[in-house]
Amino acid sequence: QVQLVESGGGLVQAGGSLRLSCATSGIIIRLTTMAWYRQAPGKEREVVATIGSVGSITNYADSVKGRFIISRDNAEKAIFLQMNSLKPEDTGVYYCNTQRGDLPWGQGTQVTVSS
């Protein structure tokens, strides 16, 4: 049974930082490009960052480039998102999944950035 469990969200002031974690089970992710997604209120879910299977290739949405860092620990089957210099527009529910988004979605973790 595949499970994705996101954690680490919270309420933070603009300029602050958060580190999100995604624990995976029921799947071997080491050969899979993984991604963090964000769904802002009233908007569709979007990809904010992806990381290749060995972690050497990362890509970021323009809106988070230079502020967010995606990483992975294949041994622990976990994905992380370090978010710095947070802005109110970063507010949303954050999810992890494959780059294709083809695993069952977890419950996500809420990030709220106050101005």
Note whether 14 and 112 are within 8 A (CB): no
Comparing CA positions, the residue from 76, 83, 72 lying closest to residue 33 is 72
Cβ-in-10-Å burial (0-12, 13-18, 19+) of 42 comes to exposed
pLDDT confidence of residue 59: 97
pLDDT band for position 106 (50/70/90)?
very high
pLDDT confidence of residue 15: 98
pLDDT confidence of residue 76: 83
- The pLDDT of 15-32, averaged and rounded, is 94
Query: Across-strand partners of 20?
Result: 81
Residue 75 has pLDDT above 90, yes or no: no
- The pLDDT of 24-49, averaged and rounded, is 94
Signed CA dihedral, 104, 58, 76, 36: sign only: negative
- The pLDDT of 22-33, averaged and rounded, is 91
